[in-house]
Amino acid sequence: MADQISPIPAVPAGLREAAQVGKLIPFIGAGVSLLAGCPGWNDFADGALRWLIAQGKFSYSQFEQVRHLNPRVKLSLARTLEAENGLTIDYEPLLHPKKRDESEKGLRLYRSLFKLGNRFVTTNYDKWLDDRIPDTTPTAAPPADPAAMALPDPMRVVHKVSDLTPALLAEPNTVIHLHGSLRDPQGMILTTQDYVRHYANDRLSGDAAKENRVLTFLEYLFANRTVLFVGYGLAELEILEYVILKARRPPGTAVKESRHYLHPLEWNSMNQTIFCLLRHDATRRESPISPTEIRSLEVVGPSYETLRVQNLSASPYVATWLATL
């Protein structure tokens, strides 16, 4: 039937070509880690406040008064209390409530993502991308030496703005944590103030000393690589606005960009996973796109509203694509 909805849309030709020539950069968002067992934004913010309650620096009654607030507001409050009391919130157990090898879905998902390439950019703070997960090949014979079984292969982890350079996109086995990492909790971009400072526009100053290395890196990334955004749903549009809009130059000075793709994962109230593939063809634009345009990107494949597949893990989806790339 002509109007039949395919559970898995065809891989766009531009995406396949970029993968084949080594120019595809997976850009990983919170939706991926959520499927792997990490908390969503609201649970993460509440976890930070509960940590402060355990330290006696916040109360349950105060928590009840603020729990309805935006997660970024709650994280800002947690950061303030953290600084005022000279504490360092232990974010690792909040982001990794269980060990990585205990999350079968997470292992399967990230193992598939690692097959996409060996260079990643992410706005996540967690450690899922910090070690390449070895592929598992079924075998009838048990390993002669269990100690010799494949172990996670450490990636080069870049999380400091001072280390951001376009050359990193040519370095194999590299993951770039654009918003910081658990390796340096104080450097994590958590609050609205953090985001404003992180993406402060240096384009009009004319002073090379004030260069924002984040914007320079993103501009090069979008101009010279094909980006596949994975795990950015409706809750992540604010982050995409910072990443995409701030990286662009003012009208009249736009740099030609490669074609980029967005594959968000969004959970609705019925515990269903909504999959869609959206395309952003930046080569036709000479001015910044607006937040409204981000919300109305061209759909490639099934309709965003009609494609709802219950209990469908992202891993088989990615794996199916990998077979054709």
Residue 253 placed within a domain? yes
- Number of CB atoms found within 10 A of residue 146's CB: 7
| Beta carbons of 135 and 128 less than 8 angstroms apart | no
**What's the confidence (pLDDT) of residue 150?**
55
Residue 117 placed within a domain? yes
Residue 34 placed within a domain? yes
Say whether both 122 and 179 belong to one domain: yes
Rounded distance between C-alpha atoms, residue 110 and residue 87, angstroms: 33
Say whether both 176 and 66 belong to one domain: no
Residue 6 placed within a domain? no
Helix, strand or coil for residue 2?
A: coil
Say whether both 119 and 74 belong to one domain: no
Say whether both 186 and 308 belong to one domain: yes
Rounded distance between C-alpha atoms, residue 252 and residue 88, angstroms: 45
Say whether both 77 and 111 belong to one domain: no
Say whether both 198 and 80 belong to one domain: no
Of the three residues 75, 92, 109, the one that is the final residue of a domain is 92
Q: CA 8, 9, 15: angle at the middle one, nearest 5?
A: 120
> How many domains is the chain built from?
2
**What's the confidence (pLDDT) of residue 136?**
67
At 300, list the tokens: 């490639």
* pTM across the whole model: 0.76
pLDDT tens sequence for the chain (325 residues)? 455 555 566 777 778 888 888 888 999 998 889 989 999 999 999 999 999 999 999 999 999 999 999 999 999 999 999 999 999 999 999 999 998 888 898 999 899 899 888 999 999 999 999 999 877 655 555 555 554 445 678 999 999 999 999 999 999 999 999 999 999 999 999 998 898 889 887 665 556 667 889 988 988 888 888 888 888 776 666 676 767 666 655 555 555 555 666 665 543 332 233 333 333 333 433 333 343 433 333 334 333 333 332 233 444 455 555 555 5
Burial class (CB in 10 A: 0-12, 13-18, 19+), 238: middle
Say whether both 204 and 64 belong to one domain: no
DSSP string, 214-237: HHHHHHHHHHHSEEEEES--GGGH
- Number of CB atoms found within 10 A of residue 253's CB: 10
Say whether both 293 and 222 belong to one domain: yes
Say whether both 172 and 275 belong to one domain: yes
Say whether both 66 and 168 belong to one domain: no
* CA dist list (Å): 156 to 48, 118, 167, 218, 286: 28, 10, 13, 19, 35
Residue 245 placed within a domain? yes
Rounded distance between C-alpha atoms, residue 76 and residue 190, angstroms: 7
Q: What is the pLDDT of residues 278-291, one digit of tens each?
A: 333 334 333 333 43
**What's the confidence (pLDDT) of residue 42?**
94
Helix, strand or coil for residue 276?
A: coil
**What's the confidence (pLDDT) of residue 263?**
63
Radius of gyration of the chain (CA): 20
**What's the confidence (pLDDT) of residue 235?**
64
Residue 4 placed within a domain? no
Say whether both 26 and 59 belong to one domain: no
**What's the confidence (pLDDT) of residue 226?**
87
Domain limits for position 31: 13-38+101-322
Say whether both 211 and 253 belong to one domain: yes
C-alpha 113 chain-centroid distance: 12
